[in-house]
A = this chain, B = another copy of it.
Amino acid sequence: MTESVVLKKEIPPYNVFDERCPTRDVLARIADKWALLILARLENGPMRFNKLQRDIQRITKKVLTQALRKLERDGLVSREVFATVPVTVEYSLTPLGQALTETVTVLAHWVESNMDAIVAAQSAYDAANAQT
């Protein structure tokens, strides 16, 4: 009888805990304070470069540009140039970025919603570890 060999389905061995897995680099790029803020900010629609910089306070043009390039390379953000004078550039979430951002937004909101508990924990921790 001919054995029907059931090949183990090759599930992509992506695993963020494997130091060699490229997902780890991607996660590290997303797990960046600026990246998260940018994604969260773009959730409500396209936005120009300067508007982004103004909304996300304390970020320099250089760093914002770098962060946007990385997000663009990973296919999370798209960049569109309009030939106005002076030039206008709009950034928006790609469908891929949109999906990711939903989770990112949950994260940001979670922090806001639980900030009181976090502050309390910090106080307790600091009190317990108080130095002379």
- A→B interface (CB under 8 Å): 12, 14-19, 22-24, 26-28, 30-33, 35-37, 40-41, 55-58, 72-76, 94, 96, 99-100, 103-104, 106-108, 110-122, 124-126
Contact = CB atoms under 8 A, between A and B. Distances in A.
Contacts of A115: 12, 14, 22-23, 26
Count copies of this chain in the complex: 2
Nearest to A41: B17
Does more than half of chain A's interface fall in helix, strand or loop, or is it mixed? helix
A75 B110 contact: no
Contacts of A27: 33, 36-37, 107-108, 111
Contacts of A15: 112
Contacts of A18: 57
Nearest to A96: B117
Contacts of A96: 114, 117-118, 121
